[in-house]
Chain A
Amino acid sequence: MTGQRRRRLWESIADRVVTPDHSGWAQAICAVSVATLATVEASALTLRAKPRVQEVLASSDGWSAKLEETQYTLGEGPGIQAFVDGGPVLVDDLAAEHARWPVFAEAALRLDAMAVFAFPLQVGAIRIGTLNLYRRRPGRLSADDLADSAVLVDLATTALLEHFDATEHAALDWTRPIGSYQDINVATGMIAGRLRISLDDAFARLRGHAFADDRSVLKVARDVVERRIGLDRFAEP
């Protein structure tokens, strides 16, 4: 049951990729989320460094881009909360949950947004950004859409972590949820601990090393965990 949902979503993303870079993948993920999720009208994928630093990597239309900008400008909203708390924030009726983000709710309702479903893109303590889904009518995300969203978030995270182009997209191991990439987490921690740098920096170096050697991050991480690559190899950024 894992494989089918993942495969279906992954293939429809791969079909839509126009430019094989992060922004191209993000654009495809937004397009697929709108085409696939029956209860969703628009979506946006945003990279965040801190709650107040963000870059809208892709949006399905101008409306969702505007809603993302609104959260950024106001410094509050479900997307920012999902990023800060590290868990999904599912708001099926913004008017009813007005008190949680009074200023954003006001602005969003003026833009006709009634429901927002925000998911963090993250691996453990490393937060990358958010995938936000919007609709103009209140209502819950269906169970099926929720499962699809969770997979899309996972695929988006994987796509942003690994590097690959359209010709080698088959190389991405879409069968494994990001949560199973435990070796990457352990390796990132080992590098951070040894070199006394942050997890974000440690992960950037792990990824840089993998890219430079044209290998997958997961394989390099395994070598680190099993000490086939010494931790001091990552001393130079």
Chain B
Amino acid sequence: MLGYVPEQHDFFTDALAEITGLLVSGERGEAVLQLIDEASMRVLGVAAVGMLVIDPRGGIEVVAASDEQARFVELLQSQVDEGPCRDCIHANEVINVPDLASARNRWPTFAPAALAAGFRAVHALPLRLGGRSVGGLNLLHTGELWLTELQQRLAQTFADLAVLGLSQERDAARRMERLAEETLGALNDRAMMGQAVGLVAGTLDIRPEQARMMIGLYARRNARSARDLAQAVIDGRLDLADLTVAASETS
């Protein structure tokens, strides 16, 4: 059971205002998804959030995750092609798994791995565009998860906003096209992040996982989007010493 979340409505209004502001200002893709991740966690009180979208080239790709554990769980679903979010996308319906321990038969690879990563429950909602499922939003929780009807409606609102964030286009007929453009762009952003991670690892002589962690930490601390930061690393606009400082302050 989810703990009592104080002032849930206030959180929701704030989050909604922030997300809408970003959308109206023409902000695209990742910044919006990041905010939706954070808002879902704050408003719904879940431990982590991840988002998958259908790659127009085929397959399913991770576009957002609130932390590394969540990213792992999302990647797992995209790679073993198994799990609640994968099923939710294919069936175009909400899949609620309050306790993964009782779902080992349904997802023999996914369930044990997600449990081992510290997650007990998953609530997966489809991202819908024109009635078609184009991706899924995953709410991950460390305890059992039972969402109230209101919470489920709020979650669906976040999912709808995520679709808007991926496809900033008022003309409904062009949205699918715009979404394909955005998705391909977001996927290339990931390649760029890989290159930035490598640059940091090679320059500072550390392991790529460490470099990825440092970049993530710095991005959160300075409220910068990961894409923006990756670009800054690649362009040489970011002093890598700042990354080291941020990391050492935390440890």
Residues of chain A at the chain B interface (Cβ within 8 Å): 1-3, 5-6, 86-88, 90, 122-126, 140-141, 143, 146-147, 150-151, 154, 177-179, 181-196, 199, 225, 231
Contact = CB atoms under 8 A, between A and B. Distances in A.
Given A2-B58, A150-B56, A199-B234, A193 B201 contact: yes
A199 B230 CA distance: 13
A138 B197 CA distance: 42
A231 B202 contact: yes
B191 A193 contact: no
A90 B199 CA distance: 33
B92 to A, nearest CB: 15
Given A147-B57, A194-B205, 8 more contacts: A87-B185, A124-B191, A125-B192, A143-B176, A190-B198, A190-B201, A199-B199, A199-B234
Interface of B: 55-59, 61, 174, 176-177, 180-181, 184-185, 187-188, 190-205, 208, 231, 234
Contacts of A123: 188, 191
Given A86-B188, A193-B201, A194-B203, A177 B194 contact: no
Interface of B is mostly: helix
Contact of A189 (B55, B57, B174, B201): B201
A185 B195 contact: yes
A231 B201 CA distance: 11
Contacts of B181: 87-88, 90
B185 A187 contact: no
B180 A146 contact: yes
Contact of B185 (A1, A86, A140, A185): A86
B192 A179 contact: no
B188 A190 contact: no
Given A87-B185, A177-B57, A177-B59, A189 B180 contact: no
Contacts of B187: 177, 179
